[in-house]
Amino acid sequence: MKKLLAIGTLSLISSLALADKPLLIQQGTPEPMSSYETPVAETQYTPLQPTRYKNETALNASLMLEYSAQKGKFANDIDEDLKGFGIGISSTPHRNGYWGKFEYQQSDNYDGSAYEFSFGGHLNLINANGFYALATVGTGVSILEADGFDNSTYWTLPVGLELGYTPMPNLSVYGGVGYKWSWDISSSTTCKDGTTSNSVGSGTCSSHDGIDHYNYTIGDYDGMTYKAGLRYNF
């Protein structure tokens, strides 16, 4: 019993002695994090850009679609209007260049039709603030059909002035006036085998089964020309 009291007394004394001492906490540095970092994917975002028209200087050609007309002056003081359309291609109207065109026109009073292919060049006179002006000259071949006449073939010489406005580089609107001479180059005689001859004298078509008929052609004509249309520049 005395031993138990002695042990208890010593334990109490030891506890009281240690109560005045602060609790020791072991200091240390935190565990270093791994040097490997999860990569983050880089996204290269490109904002949408609005569609831009080409600069005028980058456009080299132009498609044409136009209304066309001519006040034709024929032999025997006959005046007749020819009206129709034309479609063609040219270099850009904003610089000097070339053009080629097909035209179809009709004559209502004489139930006639004209087909023409022509080509030539244009000289740019003005190109400022969207407006342009061209002087044009060319040459071509046409065929004119009309009731009561044989088909007539012509060599043509058109000249003109075109004024236009380009609201955007790819589109132009224009109008023009000019003058065109048409010289009848049709053959004078049709032989029985279907060939033609420019001769009307003795011996004509002698080697082609003889003369079938003398051609009754329309003859030369000329007159003012007019046009209005659209260009697609590319």
Measured in whole angstroms, the distance separating CA 111 from the mean position of its chain's CA atoms is: 35
pLDDT tens digits, one per residue of 177-210 = 999 999 999 988 888 888 888 888 778 888 888 8
Higher pLDDT, 25 or 192: 192
pLDDT of residue 110: 83
- Summarize the confidence of residues 85-107 as an average pLDDT: 98
Dihedral (Cα; 28, 30, 31, 32), 10-degree rounding: -120
- Alpha carbons 64 and 97: distance in angstroms, whole number: 14
Domain borders along the chain are 56-233
Instruction: Say which amino acid occupies 14.
Output: S
Q: What is the pLDDT of residue 24?
A: 53
Residue 34: CB atoms within 10 Å? 6
The domain 56-233 having CATH identifier 2.130.10.10: the answer here is no
pTM for the structure as a whole: 0.73
Residue 45: per-residue pLDDT = 60
Given this model, what pLDDT does residue 52 score? Answer: 47
Instruction: Give me the pLDDT at residue 194, please.
Output: 81
In the predicted model, is pLDDT for residue 53 greater than 50?
Answer: no
Stretch among 73-82, 130-139, 156-165 having the lowest mean pLDDT: 73-82
pLDDT, position 144: 96
